[in-house]
Copies of this chain bind each other. A is one copy, B any other.
Amino acid sequence: MKYSNQTRLLVAVDCIIFGFDGTDYKLLLIQRGFAPEREKWSLMGGFIQPEESADKAAERILQQLTGLHDVYLEQIQAFSIPERDPIERVIALPYVALIDIEKYQTQINDDFHARWFTLKELPNLIFDHNEMVEMALNRLRYKAAFHPILFELLPEKFTLPQLQAMYEGLYDTKIDKRNFTRKVLSTKLLKKEKDKDKSSSKKGAFYYSLDEEHYKENFTNIHNFIPKNEIPVGTE
């Protein structure tokens, strides 16, 4: 049995994949190998298949492109105006993904001609993908102010200066080192390691890693890592 006299539509999932390389935020884009907009850059996307949910589709697509699974993925608002894709109407469910840029495996993506772009040098994207990125960034800035999601962007072991640089980069601001350290450590989300990263200073900075236990359990807690007046006027 079916619902009669109703129009069925294509539904796609598009992944807005963010990474952080220690200095800049990057977005993973692919170069389309097919029309329309052949050769133009675009988010990695795909149609929802008959037997999968949107979440599964997003995981599948991310995995196809990056080889990664079990990454942070969050759905944002659907894009649905009828004209958004010139070929045919497609409803897009965008997902924000945060991945540790070091885990991204180059060999996987060859089919898609994927490349990381820093946010400052984003090309024009197809359709409304620039808008999606904008919306995703907004959400990220809003949510990261209260929840420890940015930690997803970091490698296993990272230093506090690195972490701080990530926050400073996202909000394009400077944060006081002492206050930042105190706040982050007070959440008990981090474990101090024994060794240091000497790559960016002579003294070396201690590595930290996520305390998985506390991380999951405190994930939704409201923290306060960045100064109030830097928190964007939110989309949530």
Q: Which residues of A pack against B, CB within 8 Å?
A: 1-3, 6-11, 47-55, 75, 77-78, 80-82, 87-91, 93, 142-143, 146-147, 220-222, 228, 231, 233-236
Contacts and interface: CB of A to CB of B under 8 A. Distances in A.
A228 B146 CA distance: 13
Given A1-B87, A53-B80, A233-B221, A9 B8 contact: yes
A44 to B, nearest CB: 16
User: How many copies of the chain does the oligomer comprise?
Assistant: 2
Contact of A236 (B2, B10, B77, B236): B236
A217 to B, nearest CB: 10
Contact of A8 (B2, B10, B80, B93): B10
A71 to B, nearest CB: 18
Given A80-B55, A82-B52, A146-B234, A6 B47 contact: yes
Nearest to A49: B7
A53 B75 contact: no
Nearest to A57: B80
Contact of A91 (B11, B90, B142): B11
Contact of A10 (B3, B142, B233): B3
A50 B231 contact: no
A234 B74 CA distance: 14
A222 B10 CA distance: 37
Contacts of A87: 1-3
Nearest to A35: B1
A78 B9 CA distance: 15
7 contacts: A6-B47, A7-B48, A54-B91, A75-B78, A91-B91, A222-B231, A236-B236
B6 A10 contact: yes
A176 to B, nearest CB: 21
Nearest to A80: B54
A178 B47 CA distance: 54
Given A143-B236, A220-B235, A222-B231, A9 B11 contact: yes
Nearest to A91: B11
A89 B1 contact: no
